[in-house]
Amino acid sequence: MAVATFDLDTWTDACLLRVENALVQWIDPQAPAGLGEAMRYAVLDGGKRLRPLLVLAAREAVANQQADAALDDAALRAACAVELIHAYSLVHDDMPCMDNDVLRRGKPTVHVQFGEAQALLAGDALQALAFEFLTPDNAGIAPQVQATLCRLLARAAGHAGMAGGQAIDLASVGLKLNESQLRHMHRLKTGALLEASVMMGAACGQTSSQAHQGLQAYGQALGLAFQVVDDILDVIADSATLGKTAGKDAANDKPTYVSLLGLEAAKSYANQLLEQALAGLAASGLTHVHALQALAQRVVNRNT
Amino acid sequence: MAVATFDLDTWTDACLLRVENALVQWIDPQAPAGLGEAMRYAVLDGGKRLRPLLVLAAREAVANQQADAALDDAALRAACAVELIHAYSLVHDDMPCMDNDVLRRGKPTVHVQFGEAQALLAGDALQALAFEFLTPDNAGIAPQVQATLCRLLARAAGHAGMAGGQAIDLASVGLKLNESQLRHMHRLKTGALLEASVMMGAACGQTSSQAHQGLQAYGQALGLAFQVVDDILDVIADSATLGKTAGKDAANDKPTYVSLLGLEAAKSYANQLLEQALAGLAASGLTHVHALQALAQRVVNRNT
């Protein structure tokens, strides 16, 4: 019997085509006084789009090969909304009062290109636009789905998620964090939005509580694995490969998994988290999880 | 026959008690690494709370004396959410890369008190928290209402509303705007959120299309009147009364209704907009509009 193989690259290309087209179409270039241009610059033509891919992969897992145009549309909107939140956080994070970065994805950062005031506004407007994407008034998406998507995204982006994690990050430069503190910071700073990506995809379909719990375990392990690998790459990769400045964490005296555990133990922790993520999927009872599996493997085995 | 009189001060006190209590309770002081403290500093104990009052007044108008605990809760959440968006915009607006203001409501601005990075994050987290307020998962508020509130707020806050208006404002320093351009800027910058306040209150109840249109006309006229009066006060009031720096618009060479029309014509335009707002209410066919009427009068006749 032939075993169906899953090709992540082909799947990714098809998803990214949908996501990029939607972003190009939905971020209004006519937004006033150059704001639209700055917003598009911040979002388009850049990034690996991991969060949108997680949304679409989780939607596939819960759709169970049942087509539903409204829920597919909801998932695409969620995929784009999560990316807008991620993009706005990078714009603000790069600003002089935060990390003061001048390069992002090989291009001048938004504040270098458009000025600090416009960067601040573009970030603010991207966050609002994320919630606008989730609440179209004539797309046939059930209000229940819209409200759930807004709830998941707002919590993941705010003080108990990404913004809270960034505040801890700010406050922890030069401090010795123990592993539990470091994990807490990263659960909030990057983990919350990655986990929300999975759960927003899952919200675009019916899930049993078993499936919900399995996907949540997957999302949590994946979110942490992403950060552990990020810390490893900051040490072993060069800036050209990363598309951003390597060695920055050590230079900025930031606590990382590598500084805490050492390089080899950090690598083995990343692999352990990958196993946890895959075990979560297995426990979900869902069968169409090829894309989620392959994405977790890609997150841990990436070199950029 | 005794005519029932409406006492705006008594009504305001009762509403503000609910709003302040909710804000104190819902903005988590435990948010990590000082972020909660900065968020609370930005929101609590300050401001006239015009936007929350408009939400609650509009809810009263559409509730038509029918109590409904879930819709009352939705309106209170909407009132707080709108105030969070307003508060975050002030935090970001005061930052050095924008208006570089050191005083707000008689206190040091957030970035002066907590540093620029924390101010940036606090503003970001307040925006997310607004959408979190609107989407509680166990409050019995219909998903339809939650989704509508998110939609109205996201549009009013984003590139086609407040953030877009601020971008125009940034770009128009030193320029001569004509009246239509000035009106467009203010419709977005302050008008959109004031109008959304009214429409969010209206979304917490059933409205006929006549009532909807009347309230929208009210909200639009009121939003513009607010800005015209702001421009007038910037010229005729002193800083102590305003609680912020007077004369700033002229000093910054910003176009205003006073610089465009002259002081007397600006005053008469404000009164004309008040008449339009009241005419909108009359056309709505709604009867419980005392608070909305009195708020419009207060907006135009205020001296701070």
What amino acid is encoded at B28 in this protein?
D
pLDDT (0 to 100) of residue B174: 80
Partner-chain residue, chosen from A32, A115, A158, that has the shortest CB–CB distance to B129:
A158
B289 has a pLDDT exceeding 60: yes
* Beta pairing class for B107-108 and A107-108: unpaired
Residue B15, φ and ψ in degrees, nearest 5: -65, -45
Residue A242's closest CA among A251, A250, A233, A229?
A233
B135 has a pLDDT exceeding 70: yes
Could you give the 3-state DSSP secondary structure of residue A81?
helix
A242 has a pLDDT exceeding 80: no
B25 has a pLDDT exceeding 50: yes
Residue % of chain A over a pLDDT of 70: 94
The whole-chain average pLDDT of chain A stands at 93
User: What ipTM does the predicted assembly reach?
Assistant: 0.95
- B138-156: pLDDT as tens digits: 879 999 999 999 999 999 9
Reported confidence tier of residue A1, pLDDT bands at 50, 70, 90: very low
Partner-chain residue, chosen from B89, B98, B121, that has the shortest CB–CB distance to A167:
B121
Element (H, E) at B228: helix B209-236
Mean pLDDT for A196-219 is 97
Distance (Å) from the alpha carbon of B178 to chain A's nearest alpha carbon:
16
B153: tokens are: 């707020």
CATH class entry, domain B8-299: mainly alpha
Mean pLDDT for A214-225 is 98
A301 has a pLDDT exceeding 50: yes
pLDDT (0 to 100) of residue A52: 98
Instruction: Round to whole Å and give the CA distance between B123 and A55.
Output: 27
Nearby residues of A39 by Cβ (< 8 Å), 6 or more positions away:
A27, A31, A122, A125, A126, A129, B159
B131: tokens are: 């959408």
Residues 76-105, chain B, touching A (beta carbon < 8 A): 88-89, 92, 95, 97-98
Q: Taking CA A295 as the corner, what is the angle to CA A290 and CA A298, rounded to the nearest 5 degrees?
A: 130
Contact A250, A183 (CB under 8 A): no
Determine the residue among A124, A162, A200 to mutate to test chain B binding: the one whose Cβ has the most chain B Cβ atoms within 10 Å.
A124
pLDDT (0 to 100) of residue B240: 61
Residue % of chain B over a pLDDT of 70: 94
pLDDT (0 to 100) of residue B246: 64
CA within 13 Å, CB half, A87? 34
Distance (Å) from the alpha carbon of B290 to chain A's nearest alpha carbon:
31
**Least confident among A118-122, A131-135, A248-252:** A248-252
Eight-class DSSP state of B191: I
Domain map (residue ranges) of chain B: 8-299
For A91, which residue in chain B has the nearest alpha carbon? B120
Partner-chain residue, chosen from B147, B154, B188, that has the shortest CB–CB distance to A128:
B154
Residue entry with tokens 């709108």: B82
Given the candidates 1.10.15.40, 1.10.150.530, 1.10.600.10, 3.40.50.2300, the CATH classification of the domain at A8-301 is: 1.10.600.10
Instruction: Round to whole Å and give the CA distance between A222 and A190.
Output: 10
Residue entry with tokens 């006229």: B221
Considering A61-70, A175-184, A234-243, B181-190, the range whose residues carry the highest mean pLDDT is B181-190
Question: Which runs of E-coded beta strand occur in chain A?
Answer: 103-104, 107-108
The whole-chain average pLDDT of chain B stands at 93
B163 has a pLDDT exceeding 90: yes
Reported confidence tier of residue B64, pLDDT bands at 50, 70, 90: confident
pLDDT (0 to 100) of residue B30: 87
Contact A57, A49 (CB under 8 A): no
Instruction: Round to whole Å and give the CA distance between A162 and B132.
Output: 14
Could you give the 3-state DSSP secondary structure of residue B159?
coil
Instruction: Round to whole Å and give the CA distance between A274 and B226.
Output: 56
List beta partners, residue B103: B108
Long-range contacts of A235-239, Cβ-Cβ distance < 8 Å, separation of 24 or more: A235/A263, A236/A263, A237/A303, A237/A304
